[in-house]
Structure 1
Amino acid sequence: MPISVETFFLDPSSVGTLQARVQQMVAQGILAGRFRAGERLPSSRKMAAHLGVSRITVTLAYTELVADDYLTARGRSGYFVSKNAPEPPAFPAKRAQVGNVDWNRAIGQKFTPGLNHDKPSDWASYRYPFIYGQADKTLFDTANWRLCALRALGMRDFGALTSDYYDGDDPQLVEFIARQTLPRRGILANNDEILVTMGAQNALWLAAQVLLNSRRLAAIEDPGYPALRNILEQSRCQYTAVPVDDDGLPPDLLPPDIDVAFVTPSHQCPTTSTMSVARRKALLAKAEADDFLIVEDDYEFEMSFLKAASPSLKSLDQNGRVIYVGSFSKSLFPGLRLGYLVGPAPFIREARALRATVLRHPPGHIQRTVSYYLSLGHYDALIRRMGKAYHHRREVMDVALRHHGLTVAGHGTYGGSAVWLRAPNGIDTRQLAQRLRGDSVLIESGAAFFSTDAPPKDYFRLAYSSIPAAQIAPGVALIAKAIAGA
């Protein structure tokens, strides 16, 4: 029995190529039970004319459906729904009932609120997106990334793609991190001292879980990374927030009884200050004297386009007290979610065992793709390209800020991707950020970075990683105008 061509229509909200949309349209009809085994589909010519697409588009979609056994081709007779096509379920789907469960009582631990920042998903549609941590598609090396991903899908890498490493990692990626990535930060590490993680945040969580408990005390920077504060609160450890200055975290302000200090020495989050080598050495000396560990989040060290990056804390560590956190997500794209932990083998062994109970290991295909992207030199080329672009944008940003008299509270000495500012007294930058959205301007209020119950309201961050250089000056002008009118 032929299926009427009028039965078919392309959903305007669907995404993908025309071929993929035609393929999806037919497959969904079969899965929903509207088209039965043995029924004949309209010819490719009729379907193309009805949908307003080319005949080759329909033919290719039909061919893919034949390959997946949704359709069969019968010589000159056309295409038919395959007898082996998936069948709709014999029972109707039902929405779960709300029931009488008291979820406030049933939930043993609460983890909300989660992230502290309100970053709209449509940030790219804003004309002036001074938003931090998003990829700029004009800078990203899409072509070579695609080639590396395709290579990782080949039969040569079938094991890396499909194997369950259990608690292990892609040996090719670990080898590259050990032999190429870490030595650039002055770090030498054996393979059993490296653990691949789902980004820096996952690495920080693993470190906190392994090193801390309810009886131990951690020190964090203030202002600092909000997600780290959430991690420590969920781990139920005690923590103290230490105010940072223009040189980062002052070691003299650390309490003598802490067990772990979390620091971002390369580019402090969010002030962008860089810890001097003298202060790094002082921090290491205090850690040895007071017997505590340091977790170093080597945040944005790659974006040192003004001067060469300072040596990492771990490279200066003579006593094995530093746990090192690195990430490819910041420099490649945030959706990658791939980072790494480096520390003594006993620590990595425990972190590996913990990771295995939660997610086993990051996806093998992602690890192998990144391994190829690094080893073929594409990563270094991307960092150089991003550095040049960020340097230019930073210069444009500096000129615009000076021109409008905006107060810079933190300015990365070595580079980075953002500037930390302070509005005049009395201005709540959360309200300012909401008003600026009406002018298609996105800024980040600084309140979420502070640990106090009554955080300062006048700080905000402007990132230049995702905004074209030509949009920076007019965007800053709108910010200055909004501040003046507040």
Structure 2
Amino acid sequence: MASISEHHIFLSEDSNVGLQTRLKDAITRAIWDGRFSPGDRLPATRALAKHLGISRITVSLAYDSLLASGYIEAVARSGYFVAADAPNRHDAVRPIPASKGDRLDWVKRLGDPPPSLGGQAKPADWRRYRYPFIFGEPDVKRFPVDDWRDCVRRALGKRHFEQIADDASDRDDPFLVEQIVRRSVSGRGVAASVEEVLVTAGAQNALSLAVQVLFGRNGGVVAMEEPGYPELRNLLDHAGLGIQAVPVDRNGLCVDKIPQGIDAVFVTPSHQAPTGATMPMERRRALLERAEADDFLIIEDDYDYETSYSAPSLPALKSMDQRGRVIYIGSFSKSIFPGLRLGYLTADATFVDHARAIRTLSERHPPGLTQRTVAYFLSEGHYNSHSRRMRMRMARRNAVLREALAKHNLTPALARATGGTTLWLRGPEALDGDALTADLREQSVLVEPGSAFYTRFDAPKNRLRLGFATIETALIADGVALIADAVRAQLR
């Protein structure tokens, strides 16, 4: 047993966390890491408070919290000591006393892990890059944090806490479902009932549930866009489905290229992923007619409809669906922030019942606090206000990016788009976009290689996707200049 000096306790510099929490976390980490051992005596509250330059009551409250969690214990007239049974890393991660040759060969049993993220996935440290032309990350500096914080406080109010703390079994927050029906899908022209909506952990979870409901045990053949969403392709492949790649043009999925004998079509009609093309009304009607004639289903991923700024959003395919063939998937991850992991699907009530049952077997339901917070964010009008401001910013950045590209004789594949947060760039035939992506990282520029969006092995290499939701408007021109320099250097 030893006495712990107050000089061995350090507070983090994170000003967003209170002093009491920072002190508690510092002592907890020291015990967990084994730097403070069971029986060690902690500094007196007065001495530690003086050393850290904080109030004695703050130290006392931190010690009380550590007492309640079992990390320390109090001894009358002696002080505070690290508890004999305090959790630590050594006990929690005890090595297995077996030789390497005796261990189970998991590689032989499982094989290689299935592909999950596509080749376009951004690096984990993307924030350190000065010019992040990437997709899927919001402009967090302009997010209405105060409004969001107010919604969290309301969700945590006493009259709601019992509901969000209870085990909701397979149920969703009725307030959120009501808001989705009234303020989300209704804005896409979809007249849905609450029985036809299921809350999901983002759009990817909704896609996964749709695949499990439709093809769980029977398999099948599906069509998806080429180029298309890589994570969807990986999902379909992992499910053992036959995948038919259908080309896209400036109007989205080519309906006349859909092969015979398929069971479902996955499509992104609002802003095709990755080209950004918007499917016009004539082609939407043609797709629905083809689905009726060939008896296949349509899974509509409407991931980015909120960012339509150069023209009004067209009605969703689901709004034109008279037979219940369309499964509509929406997400708050792009419009609020991706870490939220909240989305929804809208379909026939029978389909929703099946999806709910499968969801219950894995995650039961998305977190109640998250659901209720988003419900308030919608009902108070914050979501609509935020989306309106976001559309204005994206329209401006789109224009700045196009102007910068034109200055360097780089032309987007679509001369004009109705919205979105990316541009699909088609370079000279000799351009190697994969190599260019690697070269640009050395100059603190992040772009997405277009080849990652294709199924075939001989995918064109001269495509890039440039996102502009994250990069500051003032940095776009300089970033494009670096891209243009790298293109010229490679072609030389």
Same fold (TM over 0.5): yes
Give the letter for the 1:406 counterpart.
L
Match of 1:203 in 2: 206
Match of 1:312 in 2: 316
- 8 Å CA contact 1:23–1:62 kept in 2: the answer is no
Does structure 1 residue 404 correspond to structure 2 residue 405?
no
Change over 3 Å in CA distance of 1:129–1:61 after alignment to 2: farther
Does structure 1 residue 144 correspond to structure 2 residue 143?
no
Change over 3 Å in CA distance of 1:169–1:72 after alignment to 2: same
- 8 Å CA contact 2:135–2:468 kept in 1: the answer is yes
- Give the aligned length: 481
Q: State the TM-score, normalized to the length of structure 2.
A: 0.90
Give the letter for the 2:186 counterpart.
P
Does structure 1 residue 473 correspond to structure 2 residue 477?
yes
Q: CA deviation at 1:80?
A: 2.7
Give the letter for the 2:259 counterpart.
P
Match of 2:53 in 1: 54
Identity in percent: 42
Match of 1:229 in 2: 233
Q: CA deviation at 1:271?
A: 0.2
In the alignment, the residues of structure 1 paired with residue 486 and residue 31 of structure 2 have an alpha-carbon distance, to the nearest angstrom, of 55
Show the 5 A alignment for 1:225-304.
225-304=229-308
Q: Secondary structure at the match of 1:410?
A: coil
Show the 5 A alignment for 1:416-455.
416-455=420-459
Match of 1:80 in 2: 80
- 8 Å CA contact 1:207–1:351 kept in 2: the answer is yes
In the alignment, the residues of structure 2 paired with residue 448 and residue 112 of structure 1 have an alpha-carbon distance, to the nearest angstrom, of 12
Does structure 1 residue 9 correspond to structure 2 residue 9?
yes
Q: CA deviation at 1:116?
A: 2.9
Q: CA deviation at 1:72?
A: 7.8
- Higher alpha-carbon deviation: 358-367 or 103-112: 103-112
Show the 5 A alignment for 1:3-402.
3-5=3-5, 8-10=8-10, 17=17, 19=19, 20-30=21-31, 32=34, 34=36, 39=41, 41-44=43-46, 46-48=47-49, 50=51, 53-56=52-55, 59-69=57-67, 80-81=80-81, 86=86, 93-96=93-96, 98=100, 99-107=102-110, 110-112=113-115, 114-212=117-215, 215-402=219-406
CA RMSD of aligned residues (A): 2.7
- 8 Å CA contact 1:419–1:463 kept in 2: the answer is yes
In the alignment, the residues of structure 2 paired with residue 3 and residue 144 of structure 1 have an alpha-carbon distance, to the nearest angstrom, of 47
Q: CA deviation at 1:119?
A: 1.2
Give the letter for the 1:26 counterpart.
I
Q: State the TM-score, normalized to the length of structure 1.
A: 0.91
Q: CA deviation at 1:29?
A: 4.0
- Higher alpha-carbon deviation: 372-381 or 60-69: 60-69
- 8 Å CA contact 1:160–1:365 kept in 2: the answer is no
Q: CA deviation at 1:30?
A: 4.7
Q: CA deviation at 1:137?
A: 1.7
Q: CA deviation at 1:38?
A: 9.1
Change over 3 Å in CA distance of 1:372–1:61 after alignment to 2: farther
Q: Secondary structure at the match of 1:471?
A: helix
- Higher alpha-carbon deviation: 138-147 or 428-437: 138-147
Q: CA deviation at 1:9?
A: 3.4
In the alignment, the residues of structure 1 paired with residue 461 and residue 199 of structure 2 have an alpha-carbon distance, to the nearest angstrom, of 37
In the alignment, the residues of structure 1 paired with residue 347 and residue 320 of structure 2 have an alpha-carbon distance, to the nearest angstrom, of 14
Q: Secondary structure at the match of 1:161?
A: helix
Give the letter for the 1:168 counterpart.
R
Unaligned runs of 5+ in 2: none
- 8 Å CA contact 1:40–1:81 kept in 2: the answer is yes
Q: Secondary structure at the match of 2:310?
A: coil
- 8 Å CA contact 1:37–1:80 kept in 2: the answer is no
- 8 Å CA contact 2:117–2:230 kept in 1: the answer is no
Give the letter for the 2:343 counterpart.
G
In the alignment, the residues of structure 1 paired with residue 192 and residue 447 of structure 2 have an alpha-carbon distance, to the nearest angstrom, of 39
Q: CA deviation at 1:49?
A: 5.2
Unaligned runs of 5+ in 1: none
In the alignment, the residues of structure 2 paired with residue 130 and residue 92 of structure 1 have an alpha-carbon distance, to the nearest angstrom, of 42
Q: For residues 49-94 of structure 1, what are the alpha-carbon distances to aligned partners after superposition, in whole Å with 9 as ceiling and x for unaligned? A: 54xx4323x642431331452568999x896348798466995842
In the alignment, the residues of structure 1 paired with residue 440 and residue 222 of structure 2 have an alpha-carbon distance, to the nearest angstrom, of 37
In the alignment, the residues of structure 2 paired with residue 139 and residue 167 of structure 1 have an alpha-carbon distance, to the nearest angstrom, of 35
- 8 Å CA contact 1:443–1:461 kept in 2: the answer is yes
